[in-house]
């Protein structure tokens, strides 16, 4: 798809062209007619050369395999000139603002049959499968009267994960979950976990008297559990009338929690009405993120899966009441209003 945009210089030149043409035909002066002919030729040459500059150009990008929405990353753009002899001058390159944002690039010249490889910052604006993303090439060479634009479609497809950067609401929610995981990791296994101050509500048998005598204050020695924890995240795919915007926020919340929990080096089980993935037994965290990148909301309620045995369960759902009748009473349920519109507080996880 190609288009032209009249620049300010082009507008002023067009006004002068009309004025000179009118004077030339009204007066019949040969000099004005020659000037008018030269101006018309200049206008036509400008359009032809700008068209020739964009002809035969192709663009590719090289980016990491794991890409998250709305998170800038470094990538490389490869601009090829397939014309064997004719160079292309003054090329501007930018992304389609609806799908992909690229820091604008300016390439002064691309020789015939040559390739230009430039590093830039690329941001994909939405999660999901990106196929046929388009970049915009433009040039106003040679005189700057017309800016010719050409939209180039990318041939490669790419799966973009949900945003993992984490908003303030997600961090507040995860802080509650982190405390729960830390509490469950305490135990009387064989591996030392940490030393901490004694709390008045604890039994005195937990006090390490040797360390207490050395430090002068009551100290508890904790041991890690022999088995790693299993944390389950259940994402309800039925938005229950809250709309697509709420569902997108819920997907991002589930992705952020899954990513952060996996950093705790505990076992993770991700559940929805469509899939169940155990990490690391059945897949990796990237399999979970890949599913969340492509998942769509359900248009009607679906049967809830029976929860397996787990140490901690987390529920992200638009309708929390349905989990009161199932075997999810001990789960941490994230309030639907905390997901969207927010804000989230520690009381939002209960």
Cβ atoms of 130 and 156 within 8 Å: the answer is: no
Of 69, 288, 51, the C-alpha closest to 161 is 69
Put simply, whether the predicted model's pTM sits higher than 0.85 gets the answer no
230, two tokens = 């299993």
* Per-residue CA distances from 152 to 56, 57, 94, 171 (Å): 11, 9, 11, 39
The three-state (H, E, C) secondary structure of 286-307, written as one string:
HHHHHHHHHCCCCCCCCCCCCC
The sheet with strand 67-68 has its strands ordered as 67-68, 157-161, 128-131
User: 113 — phi, psi (to 5°)?
Assistant: 75, 10
The token duo for 174 is 């995860």
What does each of the 350 residues of the chain score in pLDDT, given as a tens digit?
Answer: 567 788 898 899 999 999 999 998 888 888 989 999 999 999 888 888 888 888 888 888 788 878 888 888 888 888 889 888 889 998 888 876 667 888 888 889 999 889 988 888 888 888 888 876 667 888 888 888 888 888 777 667 788 999 988 788 888 888 888 888 877 766 545 566 677 787 766 666 667 877 788 888 888 777 655 557 788 888 888 887 788 888 898 899 899 999 998 888 788 888 888 888 888 888 889 999 999 999 998 888 777 666 656 678 888 888 776 666 556 666 777 877 777 777 777 777 77
CA distances from 51 to 58, 89, 141 (A): 14, 11, 9
What is residue 335's DSSP assignment? P
Tokens representing 150 are: 């050409």
Domains defined for the chain, CATH in brackets: 1-161 (2.60.40.10), 168-189+227-348 (3.40.50), 190-224 (no CATH)
Helix then strand count (H, E) for the chain reads: 7, 20
Task: Specify whether the CB–CB gap between 178 and 191 falls below 8 A.
Answer: no
**Torsion of the alpha carbons at 318, 329, 286 and 126, rounded to the nearest 10:** 10
Residue in the block written with tokens 């004694």: 198
């Amino acid at each position: 798809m190609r288009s032209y945009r009249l620049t300010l210089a082009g507008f002023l030149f067009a006004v002068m062209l009309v004025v000179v043409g009118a004077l030339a035909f009204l007066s019949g002066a040969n000099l004005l007619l020659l000037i008018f002919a030269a101006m018309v030729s200049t206008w036509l040459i400008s359009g032809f050369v700008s068209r020739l500059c964009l002809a035969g150009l192709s663009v590719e990008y090289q980016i990491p395999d794991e890409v998250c929405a709305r998170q800038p990353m470094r990538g490389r753009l490869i601009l090829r000139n397939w014309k064997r002899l004719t160079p292309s001058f003054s090329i501007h390159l930018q992304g389609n603002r609806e799908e992909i944002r690229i820091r604008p690039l300016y390439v002064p010249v691309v020789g015939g049959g040559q390739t230009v490889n430039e590093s830039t910052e690329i941001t994909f604006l939405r999660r999901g499968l990106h196929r046929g993303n388009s970049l915009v090439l433009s040039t106003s060479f040679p005189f700057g009267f017309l800016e010719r634009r050409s939209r180039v479609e990318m041939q490669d497809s790419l799966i973009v994960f949900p945003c993992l950067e984490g908003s303030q609401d997600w961090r507040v929610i995860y802080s509650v979950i982190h405390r729960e995981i830390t509490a469950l990791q305490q135990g009387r296994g064989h591996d030392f976990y940490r030393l901490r101050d004694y709390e008045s509500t604890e039994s005195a048998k937990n006090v390490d008297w040797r360390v207490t005598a050395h430090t002068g204050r009551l100290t508890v020695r904790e041991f890690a559990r022999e088995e790693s924890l299993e944390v389950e995240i259940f994402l309800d795919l039925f938005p229950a009338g809250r709309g697509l915007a709420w569902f997108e926020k819920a997907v991002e919340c589930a992705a952020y929690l899954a990513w952060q929990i996996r950093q705790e080096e505990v076992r993770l089980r991700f559940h929805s009405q469509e899939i169940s993935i155990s990490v690391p037994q059945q897949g990796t965290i990237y399999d979970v993120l890949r599913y969340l990148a492509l998942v769509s909301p359900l248009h009607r309620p679906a049967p809830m899966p029976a929860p397996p045995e787990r140490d901690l369960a987390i529920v992200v759902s638009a309708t929390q009441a349905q989990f009161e009748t199932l075997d999810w009473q001990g789960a941490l349920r994230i309030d639907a209003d905390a997901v969207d519109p927010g804000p989230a507080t520690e009381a939002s996880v209960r």
